[in-house]
Amino acid sequence: MPTGLVFFPAFDWAITPTHPEREERLLYTRDQLFEEGIMDLPELIEYKPRLALKKDIARAHFCVPDIETQITDAHLYAAGGALVLADALMNKEIDNGFALVRPPGHHSMRVVHGNRGFCNIHNEAIMIEYLRKKYGLQRIAIVDTDVHHGDGTQDIYYHDPDVLFISYHQDGRTLYPGSGFCNELGGPAAFGMNINIPLQPYTTDEGIHYLLDNLVLPILEDFKPDLIINSAGQDNHYTDPLANMRFTARGYAKLNEKLAPDLAVLEGGYAIESALPYVNTGIILAMAGLDYSWVREPDYKEENFKETKENMDYIKELADYLWRVWKEREQLAEQRYERKEKFEEVNRHIYYDTDGIREQQHETIRICDQCPGYQIIRSRGMYSTGKVRVIEAVAIHHRACKTCQEEARGYYEQRKREREGLDVVYLQDKPGDRYYQCSADGEIEILD
Amino acid sequence: MLIGLDVGGTYTDAVLLDGQQVIKKVKTPTDNEHLLDTLVSALDPLLDAAQGESLERIVLSTTLITNLIATNRIEPAALVIIPGPGLNPYTYDYHVPDTFLLSGAIDYRGREIEPLDQQELKKCAEEINKKGLKKAAVVGKFSQRNKKHEETVATYLKEHIPDLCVLMGHQVTGRLNFPRRIHTTLLTLATQENYNSFYSEILKLLKKRGITAPLYILKADGGTLSFELSAAKPVETIFSGPAASTLGVLALTPEGETSVVVDIGGTTTDLALILSGRPLFASRGARVGDRLTQVRAFATSSAAVGGDSCLEVENGALKIMPYRKGPAYCLGGACPTPTDAMRVAGLTELGDQQKAIRAMEMLGEGLKLNPQETAELVLDKTTEKIIAEIEKMFLSWEQEPAYRIWELRQKKKVRPNNLVGIGAASPALLPLLGKKMGCNALIPPNAEVANAIGAALAKVNLRLTFHFDTERQFFFIEENGIQEKNREVKTLADAESFAMSRLIEEGKKLGIDVNDQPELVYSEVFNMVRGWRTGGRLIDVCVQFPTGILKQQEEGDH
Ligand SMILES: [Zn+2]
Ligand SMILES: [Zn+2]
Ligand SMILES: [Zn+2]
């Protein structure tokens, strides 16, 4: 079966005219792909994106004050492009698929007050929730190969024991968004399901592939997911203007060959001339099982991409450490979280770089012996205009037990009645696949 | 007066028109071995009918190129490619034993990223010389954005190999798609000579008859071109048959409507679409045998069923076979066919009624149905198959990838106003098809020579797609391979007016009526931002004198 491709470069959409996330971003990639004649190969089949529905978005996000405010058609087509491939995969039309779409999504968190790291809504999370609901998939693994920490993905799946998230990224002390450290391992119900691999600046193909072979692939083999998704950012490339890594087009292609993701979705990557045309060609060829050895950047020389001994030592140590964490995650979880408590509470701050929004979150996590529970998020968004919005959102896990489901729904009903101080109250009822939000204008169910 | 000639694979149609009025029509079998004889027998009756009145032009649509390629009567040529980085160039098979790979690379902006290797070039020339090859195609990746490498190689080869005929990729097509450009270049190179000799024969033949009217050729994109100009790219005249029939339907139906052209033949039903009065083009270029080319052509599709399709019963189910065993049973054939069913159902007067009933009886035995019921079932199955193919065509048009939000947004579900039947079995079956699809079934007068009418009335068209790179102060034109320096164009408005005036200038050279309205097909600009500052711009502008037919009133002006 062929490899499915959705190419949605959104040639008529930009954040601002000179922003890295602008019309031009995939222009040279288009030229390269079209000139290669890749779409004519029997190994590839091109699909047209469709519009994602609001309900698809509501499965992954709480948009403040509503979905319409947070998105444009470009977002709906980008997310819809991923959904088209998800369907094609499940209908056995394709072996695997790559959604080469923009705008990206992996910095979008559960609560969306605005644009963070060029993202408003999370294309992969929307796709995953769709796959789980429509096709009943259980275990999903996401491997993020964007140079930035996939903090949106981490946030959305932090309490979900069925979704394993592994993120490669440049160390948060040296790059946006400043998170993604080894000790961010997952909430009480999903401890060890969130693996961060912070890399030193200037890490090369060699280092990234060492971690792939000695950490990522063994974990995946152990976890046995129903589906592997690649959050396929391309800003680890050695020419990327926003980061400092030394990954090559061939390194990316080889990574995709070994990882063999079922679905890949484009994230960042802003070396629009020197990297993207080559990296995308490489990834597509690798996914389609075609020879990618002719793909190389104009200035590529193999000898320039060797690891220093110092960095290699760090990498080996990191791989050993994280492997131990993975193997011992259950014992470690018991040490970390007091199981006697029914609720765990967390406070944190989130910054929206693009829109200049500061958010305060208070999260109440229901810990249950029977199920992955639910969470209540109280979020206060402070906008650059001085405006403040406060919301509360209830998120129930797919496999929540009857008691947890009733508790969570009860809480939502109560908040709906006593809404003082809150702009919007949300319910994300995944077991029932129903999504509501209630504001001064009344309650609405989010459908299509 | 106008003459249109369509030399199809089986029949040759010819018409003499006064305006859009048919003065004389001829239909004669095509002798593929002696196309000139066929032409004469179609043309002479028309010349008689014209009675010496002045002819404005003769337009010819022919299968010559298709035949040449299909029968592989093409001379061997060397293929010299400069692939640069990307897909392994051996992924595609170009069917050329003498293929030479040269290093050197141009990137998507037309910048040289790797120089040619003089030693390699020298060795390549020696090999070609040694093998005694007389022709060579030289094609580089992104050569449409910078022809330097192709030209260096071509010049070198010509200097070192006497009498070598060299054709460069950028001369043939400037559209993106390196493998298709290679195929198209090879086909152009292979057919140029035969094309020239065939047409010099035709010109002689016309001269002998004292005809001074210019000879025009119909292209796959439905435009015509004077013969002299078409000789540069004969491959563009391939598949002009569907273009001819679609234009014919355009001439015979109300303006601006959405129609399906249905040509029900012996074992196939050929389909083409006219969307709101505009023929639908194939999104990427024609397929010639197993080669994908960049020849712009109408979108066509074919259902494997026709009036003579053999019908069989397998495991109690009716099956329409993709082949025929002679004509319909009612016309003395060997097996039951849809035509027999039409006869029994009273949809046609063709053939013998008793034999038709007998055919349905034979078929009905295995189905446990009487002849009337059997005929009904056959007609159901036949129409279902055609309708499914029509639906598929609309669907694949709807599903065509698009890369802009507005393009995705604007494509609405469209269904036809008309089914327009041409071809032998159409009159009987079309009303039934129309009823099932809920649209008008039209059999226009003179439908049997629609192809020739389409050819006769085809306009000269011209489409130019410009790509400006204001940073490199350069532009190229996709369709004709022109690459030029340009300092004036800086904005989208500059580019549009530049393209438009160039179109009009080029159009005049082709003899396009100055009263024809040029169109801006699309234009878009990309700001190149480097380090958060806007640098140059990349501007794409496509302008055209569209494909279409000569209108009555325009004809009246003459
Ligand atoms: Zn990452
Ligand atoms: Zn990134
Ligand atoms: Zn529970």
Give the model confidence (pLDDT) of A335-363 as tens digits: 888 667 799 999 999 999 989 999 999 99
User: Does the CB of B526 have a partner CB in chain A at under 8 Å?
Assistant: yes
Q: Are residues A272 and A362 in the same domain?
A: no
Q: How far is B335 from chain A, CA to nearest CA, in Å?
A: 38
User: Does the CB of B476 have a partner CB in chain A at under 8 Å?
Assistant: no
The phi, psi pair for B557, rounded to 5°, reads -65, -25
Q: Are residues A71 and A146 in the same domain?
A: yes
Measured over the CA atoms of residue B399, residue B402, residue B408 and residue B410, the dihedral's sign is: negative
The answer on pLDDT for A299 being more than 70 is: yes
The answer on pLDDT for A321 being more than 50 is: yes
Interface test with B, best of A22, A36, A284, A295 (most B CBs within 10 A): A36
Q: Are residues A93 and A186 in the same domain?
A: yes
Tokens of A329: 């995650």
d(CA A146, CA A107): 11
Which A-chain residues 251-290 have CB contacts (< 8 A) with chain B?
273, 277-278, 281, 285, 290
Which range marks the domain in which residue A164 is found?
3-331
Which residue is closest to B178 within chain A, CA to CA? A35
Q: Are residues A320 and A425 in the same domain?
A: no
**H or E segment and range at residue B169:** helix B169-172
User: Does the CB of B151 have a partner CB in chain A at under 8 Å?
Assistant: no
Give the CATH number for residue A259: 3.40.800.20
Q: Is the peptide bond before A65 cis (omega within 30 degrees of 0)?
A: yes
Q: Are residues A224 and A140 in the same domain?
A: yes
Last residue of a domain, one of A331, A361, A377: A331
- Which ligand has the minimum distance to the alpha carbon of residue A399? 3
pLDDT at B252: 85
* A395 and A404 Cβ atoms separated by less than 8 Å: no
Contacts of A79 in chain B (CB under 8 A): none
pLDDT at B72: 65
Q: Are residues A175 and A311 in the same domain?
A: yes
CA B171, chain centre distance (Å) = 19
User: Does the CB of A302 have a partner CB in chain B at under 8 Å?
Assistant: no
User: Does the CB of A294 have a partner CB in chain B at under 8 Å?
Assistant: yes
Q: Are residues A190 and A317 in the same domain?
A: yes
Q: Shortest CA distance to A26 belongs to which of A330, A234, A289?
A: A234
Q: Which residue has the higher pLDDT, B10 or A140?
A: A140
- Please report, as a single letter, which amino acid is at residue B92: Y
Tell me the CA–centroid distance for residue B475 and ligand 2, in Å. Answer: 34
Q: How many CB atoms lie within 10 A of CB A292?
A: 26
Which residue is closest to A6 within chain B, CA to CA? B401
pLDDT at B267: 87
Q: Which residue has the higher pLDDT, A17 or B275?
A: B275
pLDDT at B557: 39
* A75 belongs to the catalytic site: no
Tell me the CA–centroid distance for residue A159 and ligand 3, in Å. Answer: 13
d(CA B169, CA B179): 10
- Domain ranges in chain B are 78-194, 311-448, 462-547
Last residue of a domain, one of A312, A331, A350: A331
| Yes or no, beta carbons of B142 and A11 under 8 Å apart | no
Q: Which are the contacts of B258, defined by CB distance < 8 A and separation ≥ 6?
A: B273, B274, B275, B276, B277, B414, B415, B416, B417, B418
Contacts of A30 in chain B (CB under 8 A): 403
Q: Are residues A402 and A271 in the same domain?
A: no
Which residue is closest to B109 within chain A, CA to CA? A28
3-state secondary structure of B300: strand
B522-548 core/surface letters (b: 16 or more CB in 10 A; e: else) = ebebbbbbeeeeeebbbbbbbbbbbbb
Which residue is closest to B399 within chain A, CA to CA? A48
Q: Are residues A153 and A223 in the same domain?
A: yes
| Yes or no, beta carbons of B292 and A278 under 8 Å apart | no
Q: How many domains does chain A have?
A: 2
3-state secondary structure of B275: strand
Last residue of a domain, one of A302, A331, A360: A331
Question: How many residues make up chain A in this entry?
Answer: 448
Tokens of B533: 């500052």
pLDDT at B129: 94
User: Does the CB of A301 have a partner CB in chain B at under 8 Å?
Assistant: no
**H or E segment and range at residue B354:** helix B353-367
User: Does the CB of A242 have a partner CB in chain B at under 8 Å?
Assistant: no
In this prediction, residues A209-234 reach a mean pLDDT of: 98
Which pLDDT tens digit goes with each residue over B317-339?
999 999 999 899 999 999 999 99
Q: Are residues A284 and A358 in the same domain?
A: no
Q: How many CB atoms lie within 10 A of CB B380?
A: 14
Q: Are residues A251 and A398 in the same domain?
A: no
For chain B, percent of residues with pLDDT exceeding 70: 98
Which A-chain residues 93-152 have CB contacts (< 8 A) with chain B?
none
What's the CA dihedral at A69, A74, A78, A84 to 10 degrees?
100
Which pLDDT tens digit goes with each residue over A355-397?
999 999 999 999 999 999 999 999 999 999 999 999 999 999 9
Where chain B has pLDDT below 50, the residues are 553-558
User: Does the CB of A7 have a partner CB in chain B at under 8 Å?
Assistant: yes
Say which of A61, A75, A107, A237 is annotated catalytic: A107
pLDDT at B161: 95
Tokens of B136: 């060579």
User: Does the CB of A210 have a partner CB in chain B at under 8 Å?
Assistant: no
> For chain B, give me the number of helices (H) and strands (E)?
16, 27
Tell me the CA–centroid distance for residue B227 and ligand 2, in Å. Answer: 56
For chain A, percent of residues with pLDDT exceeding 90: 94
Q: What is the pTM of this model?
A: 0.93
Considering only the C-alpha atoms of chain A, give the largest distance between any 2 of them, rounded to a whole number of Å: 66
| 3 state SS for chain A | CCEEEEEECCCCCCCCCCCCCCHHHHHHHHHHHHHHCHHHCCCEEEECCCCCCHHHHHCCCEECCCHHHHCCHHHHHHHHHHHHHHHHHHCCCCCEEEEEECCCCCCCCCEECCCECCECCCHHHHHHHHHHHHHCCCCEEEEECCCCCCHHHHHHHCCCCCEEEEEEEECCCCCCCCCCCCCCCCCCCCCCCEEEEEECCCCEHHHHHHHHHHHHHHHHHHHCCCEEEEEECCCCECCCCCCCCEECHHHHHHHHHHHCCCEEEECCCCCCCCCHHHHHHHHHHHHCCCCCCCCCCCCCCHHHHCCCHHHHHHHHHHHHHHHHHHHCHHHHHHHHCCCCCCEEEEEEEEEECCCCEEEEEEEEEECCCCCCCEEEEEEEEECCCCCEEEEEEEEECCCCCHHHHHHHHHHHHHHHHCCCCCCEEEEEECCCCEEEEEECCEEEECCC
Q: How many CB atoms lie within 10 A of CB B135?
A: 21
Which residue is closest to B111 within chain A, CA to CA? A298
| Yes or no, beta carbons of B91 and A291 under 8 Å apart | yes
Which B-chain residues 77-116 have CB contacts (< 8 A) with chain A?
83, 85-89, 91-92, 105, 107-109, 113-114
pLDDT at B481: 87
The phi, psi pair for B484, rounded to 5°, reads -140, 155
